[in-house]
Chain A
Amino acid sequence: MIKRRINIRMSGLGGQGVVTSAHVMAMAASKDGRQAISNPFFGAEKRMAPAEAYVRIGIERIYDRGELVYPEVIEVFHPQVINQGKSYTMPFYSGIKRGGLVIINANMELLTDEDKQRLSDMEVAVYYVNATELALEIASTELSTNMGMIGSVAGITKCVSMQALDLALQDRFGKKYVASGGTATLDQAITKKFAKKELLLAKNLAVVKKAYDLGVEWAEKNHVELTVAAA
């Protein structure tokens, strides 16, 4: 289905780069000429505490702000969102729209039979991606897990182009960026993992690309079509 607007809810844990993912996605969509807005939702800035961020991408001006209660896409960055209830919603997919998409970062099945039935009744497609493993393999750090999540949703929905993601990553990590204390510390941590900034950008982009390709392949194979109209 081609939509005028696609609303993405990213659920994860503090420190995983959920907020950064939403910002990068929105920046990329904006570079593609679409309308986009991103915003975070969290309590105290605390590692491993529930954190969410939202991206809205569309072809007409977006007014909607705040928590995304009725999303088309839900991305789960960490198994604890599901199996420890680290979500603002129980179950984590509450509010998902009919014909939606759930993307889960895990290397094992996390849904109960009841979950599967309810999602299937809503015609929601479920995609597992091993984003943390991809991050470790390609970038040698699990801090790049969020890149895998960005690539997955972009590959399946084509809501942002790879070219725009490249530019958005350069904007976010290539320049001086002002963020809260917690985010600045994590930025420093990931910068230290790479000898040069160019290497950081290249490796992270490689994670995005790999996840993007896997997403494209899965969507074609499973006939999942959920995309946003061209700008």
Chain B
Amino acid sequence: MDSHSIIGTKNKKGQTFTDPYHLFFEAQRIPSFFTGSEVIKEAIRRASVDLMVAYPITPQSEAAALIGELYAEGYVTDYMRGENEFGVMSECAGGSFGGARVFTTTAGPGTMRAMENFPMWSGARLPIEMIVTCRGINSPLSIQPDTLEIYFLLETGMLVWHAETAQDFYDWILMGFMVAEQPDVHLPIAICCDGFFVTHTKDVVNLTPADMCLPPYDPYRSPVPCMDMECPPVRMMRDPFIMKSNYISYATHASWQQEVRAAIERSRKHTIPLLHGLIETENTDAEILIVSSGTAVSQGREAIRLLADEGLRVGLVKIKSLRPWPYHEIREATKHAKHIFVPEFNVAGWMAREIKSTIPDSDRVVVGPHVAGGMTMPPEVIVEHIQRTLGKSVATLAGRGS
């Protein structure tokens, strides 16, 4: 063979290392009726993962356990059980410093406990993929979805994507590695979904063939040296870098965070062709728009159907990537809108704030409706919120608990 390319060769499980473009867009898709947790397992089966670190927390526990089965079957090279979430994320860092493709799953309070590691990962340019199955983080405790933890991740220097469906999740888990590991990106990525609504819901997902997998991670494409056991203890720290001890380290501290953020922006050119844009739009010439991410988009789609039955035309903007933030795309998509509704599964309304800080005439943004603490947002509630804002008289909905 003339080429040294690994594409077309087989791994020990007999899966063929496949060109990612072929895998994503040309290979046959097999419809399967699975829960989101099973879908995560099937994505990782095809992802040539070297190390998974697991720790239980609802609603990601099933996925973490299922990947343990993949390890037992030989699809994942190594599988560790962390002693707590801080330990998990630290162990992920160790694996990634060592040149492994690392994957982990987390949720809610566990994500919060591990938080110190995330800016460390991005500063050290470790392309770890972490999935976040969002749930409530506060007391009173909730295991149902609440997207506050995504907000805490936004300025960690990680790439942050927010999946709407199990299909998004499946595709993005595979695509995420390909974007995060680009030499000009080389950053950790958080791929988020709303727990239970995605992880525990059975839905049809089109899977790629099980006998094809992603090419493995090549640590020598890293823009910073991977940890080298001949140069202990941890080469990435390189003596002069620490604590502004001289001019070089001072300059590094002054610029490195900017470089990490520039790397996030550079990920666009890899992400846009894979995700077909950082946003998805429908009927953006309508005067009324629903703009959000995750399951709130799904609920918005149902609300749009209900409103169409009443003769009201409403457009939609689905935000897929939160970091990089699709600033220009959102400005363009919302330029005709008079009323922009931002349904959210959190008490803070952080998505509405992000959108307000992006577009001109930000008083067009209607914050809400939002629900919090693991509550559901029925499409009827979005419909009522829109009608009320437009000054239409609406019958008050009987809610649960009324």
> B202 in the interface, Cβ–Cβ < 8 Å?
yes
Q: A38-B202, A39-B200 are in contact. Are A94 and B401 (CB under 8 A)?
A: yes
In the complex, the answer to whether A69 meets B204 with C-beta atoms within 8 Å is no
Query: Quick one: closest A residue to B298, CB to CB?
Result: A63
Q: How far is the CA of A40 from the CA of B196 in the complex (A)?
A: 7
One of A37, A68, A89, A179 near B203 (C-beta < 8 A): A37
In the complex, the answer to whether A64 meets B302 with C-beta atoms within 8 Å is yes
Encoded as 1 (CB less than 8 Å from any A CB) or 0, chain B from 45 to 78 comes to: 0000000000000000110011001000000000
> B21 in the interface, Cβ–Cβ < 8 Å?
no
In the complex, the answer to whether B62 meets A64 with C-beta atoms within 8 Å is no
Q: How far is the CA of A119 from the CA of B402 in the complex (A)?
A: 15
In the complex, the answer to whether A65 meets B399 with C-beta atoms within 8 Å is no
> A128 in the interface, Cβ–Cβ < 8 Å?
no
In the complex, the answer to whether A69 meets B378 with C-beta atoms within 8 Å is yes
Q: How far is the CA of A94 from the CA of B201 in the complex (A)?
A: 23
Q: How far is the CA of A94 from the CA of B198 in the complex (A)?
A: 26
Q: A65-B194, A65-B298, A180-B62 are in contact. Are A70 and B202 (CB under 8 A)?
A: no
> A27 in the interface, Cβ–Cβ < 8 Å?
yes
Encoded as 1 (CB less than 8 Å from any A CB) or 0, chain B from 26 to 44 comes to: 0000000100011000000
One of A30, A43, A95, A178 near B399 (C-beta < 8 A): A95
Encoded as 1 (CB less than 8 Å from any A CB) or 0, chain B from 374 to 394 comes to: 011111110000000000000
For the side of the interface on A, what is the size category? Answer: 20 to 34
In the complex, the answer to whether B400 meets A95 with C-beta atoms within 8 Å is yes
Encoded as 1 (CB less than 8 Å from any B CB) or 0, chain A from 140 to 182 comes to: 0000000000000000000000000000000000000011100
In the complex, the answer to whether A39 meets B202 with C-beta atoms within 8 Å is yes
> B301 in the interface, Cβ–Cβ < 8 Å?
yes
Size of B's binding interface in residues, CB under 8 A? 38
Query: Quick one: closest B residue to A25, CB to CB?
Result: B202
In the complex, the answer to whether A65 meets B299 with C-beta atoms within 8 Å is yes
> B295 in the interface, Cβ–Cβ < 8 Å?
yes
Q: A37-B203, A41-B196, A70-B378 are in contact. Are A63 and B302 (CB under 8 A)?
A: yes
Q: How far is the CA of A178 from the CA of B35 in the complex (A)?
A: 10
> B243 in the interface, Cβ–Cβ < 8 Å?
no
Residues from chain A with Cβ under 8 Å of B295 in the complex: 65-66
> B143 in the interface, Cβ–Cβ < 8 Å?
yes
Shortest Cβ distance from residue B221 to the other chain A in the assembled complex, whole angstroms: 35
In the complex, the answer to whether B376 meets A66 with C-beta atoms within 8 Å is yes
Residues from chain B with Cβ under 8 Å of A66 in the complex: 144-145, 196-197, 295, 299, 376-378
In the complex, the answer to whether A95 meets B398 with C-beta atoms within 8 Å is yes
Shortest Cβ distance from residue A207 to the other chain B in the assembled complex, whole angstroms: 22
> A195 in the interface, Cβ–Cβ < 8 Å?
no
Query: Quick one: closest B residue to A180, CB to CB?
Result: B62
> A108 in the interface, Cβ–Cβ < 8 Å?
no
In the complex, the answer to whether A64 meets B299 with C-beta atoms within 8 Å is yes
Q: A65-B299, A69-B376, A88-B400 are in contact. Are A43 and B143 (CB under 8 A)?
A: yes
Shortest Cβ distance from residue A105 to the other chain B in the assembled complex, whole angstroms: 21
Considering the complex, which residues of chain A in the window 1-53 have a beta carbon less than 8 Å from any beta carbon of chain B? 23, 26-27, 30, 35-41, 43-44
Residues from chain B with Cβ under 8 Å of A179 in the complex: 62
Residues from chain B with Cβ under 8 Å of A88 in the complex: 400-401
In the complex, the answer to whether B144 meets A41 with C-beta atoms within 8 Å is yes
> A225 in the interface, Cβ–Cβ < 8 Å?
no
In the complex, the answer to whether B196 meets A39 with C-beta atoms within 8 Å is yes
In the complex, the answer to whether A69 meets B400 with C-beta atoms within 8 Å is yes
Residues from chain B with Cβ under 8 Å of A180 in the complex: 61-62
Q: How far is the CA of A179 from the CA of B201 in the complex (A)?
A: 13
Which one of A35, A44, A67, A179 has the greatest number of beta carbons of chain B within 10 Å?
Answer: A67
5 CB < 8 A contacts A-B: A26-B33, A27-B33, A35-B204, A38-B201, A67-B375
Residues of B in contact with A (beta carbons under 8 Å apart) = 33, 37-38, 61-62, 65-66, 69, 143-145, 194, 196-198, 200-204, 295, 298-299, 301-302, 375-381, 397-402
- Sample of 18 more A-B contacts, CB < 8 Å, known A40-B200, A180-B62: A37-B203, A38-B202, A39-B200, A39-B201, A40-B196, A41-B144, A63-B301, A64-B378, A64-B379, A65-B198, A65-B201, A65-B299, A66-B145, A66-B295, A66-B299, A88-B401, A89-B401, A94-B401
